[in-house]
Amino acid sequence: MRFLARRALAAALLSLGAFAAAAQQAELDQAKSLITAGNARQAFDLLAPLESKYSGMPEYDYLLGVAALDSGRLEEAIIAFERVLALIPNHAGAQMDLARAYYASGSFDLAEAAFVKLRTANPPAPALEAITRYLDAIKVRRRQTQPGWTAWGEAGIGWDSNITGVPQDFGAAAAQSYNLFGVTPTGNSVKRSASFGTVGAGGEYGYPLSRGWSLFAGGEARGRGYRNESDFNSVSGELHGGAALNRGGDQWRLSASYFDFRQEGDAPGEPKPTNDRKMGGGGVDWRHSIDPRTQLGASLLLNAVRFPTNRIEDFDQVYAAVSWLHSFERKGVPMLYLTAFASDDEAKNKFDDGVTSKSKNLFGLRSYLQYSFAPKLQGYNAISAIYRRDKDAFARSTTVEKGRDTFGEFVLGLAWQFREGCALRLQWAYSTNRSNIDLYDFDRHEISNTIRCDI
């Protein structure tokens, strides 16, 4: 009888142990599902109360670390990953995520050492690409804490199918837009295509202060020259300066800028109207890191845009935008950047009737997707859609009361980093504008290749 009782007790204990193990695995599987679904905060809330029971178990500690890291609890994440590595020193996931946690917490020396160590361990291509991005980002963040210059230069060649952005049939468009028949295009209204060359250079000086504050000032200059279309050669320059604040996961940037664009064009008249424009303004930009892979942003800008020889185009602008950036740590390390924006453009001058102006509103969406085929070869795609709405009746046409335009752009490109700090970019861009005023319809293709080096 005693033997049978012991066997029954042993069987009961084994059953309880199996039940407890099953319950434990169910909790860990639930946490995994939550993390996979992007609910890191819920996963952490599930795992944290179990720490006294499961702490020291690598599977639990790793899941706790990932949930903590992805929900912004950096200290808890670092402690959990260190517990995993104390038992399994070669745990690649914990090594990578500990380095990410160091980076997110601002411990750039520790993060850099961890990423360099991972890079020397011959990781798979997706991990190597992610490591390279983090090491590049550490260089950028380190510059923000040390006084000094950053600079760049670029040169390129290309071909533009529609330099002035005019419709295919200008005569028909003029008839629809202004009731003018038999019009032959001249000057800026002639559709032109040409090859071109570009050059550009710029730099910025940063000076750190204290408590995350820094000052910056810089500028850039660009030029484009067309073959056999010299009237449309252009030069531009920009100057900017301001203050930046880096505090935890938040980055603030307060800035003022001035931009000057010069292009003679081919418009008739005396004095001759040009395509010159100037823009001055200022604003605030905010970036917030939700986790090491995800960033939110918002910006507000106030600009004054002036056309020295065409005053009817002058306007003051209020521009607001929000953005979302996410890097996916999988094959190709895809990066997706989305922006939504709106502007209110209030014209400074009116037509001769004293009522009508070219005031307008703009609403837009942009996306940018990057994919790494190899550590030094990336493909990218950009898509833009912008809707324009005229505020005043008959501002751009005598036959169409309210102008409505939809502008779209599609870009495909490859970027090859052929040496440290230098990349060759091959790009095709297609843009189109569709308007209820035919005069503003156009299609345009631009093919270019550019070499850019950052110092």
The answer to whether 266 and 187 are in contact (CB under 8 A) is: yes
pLDDT > 70 in the chain, percent: 94
Is residue 296's pLDDT more than 60? Answer: yes
Check whether the bond before 375 is cis (ω within 30° of 0): no
Q: Which residue has the higher pLDDT, 3 or 47?
A: 47
Q: Could you give the angle at the alpha carbon of 409 between the alpha carbons of 404 and 415, nearest 5°?
A: 165
Mean pLDDT of 94-109: 86
Q: What are the structural domains, with CATH classification, of the chain? A: 23-123 (1.25.40.10), 148-454 (2.40.160.40)
Is residue 148's pLDDT more than 60? Answer: yes
Least confident of 15-19, 51-55, 332-336, 428-432: 15-19
DSSP 110-155: HHHHHHHHHHTT---HHHHHHHHHHHHHHHHHHHTTS-EEEEEEEE
* pLDDT tens digits, 236-275: 999 999 999 988 778 999 999 999 999 999 988 888 899 9
Provide the total of helices (H) and of strands (E) in the chain, helices listed first: 9, 14
Mean pLDDT of 61-65: 89
Is residue 353's pLDDT more than 80? Answer: yes
**Where does residue 75 rank: exposed (0-12), middle (13-18), buried (19+ CB within 10 A)?**
exposed
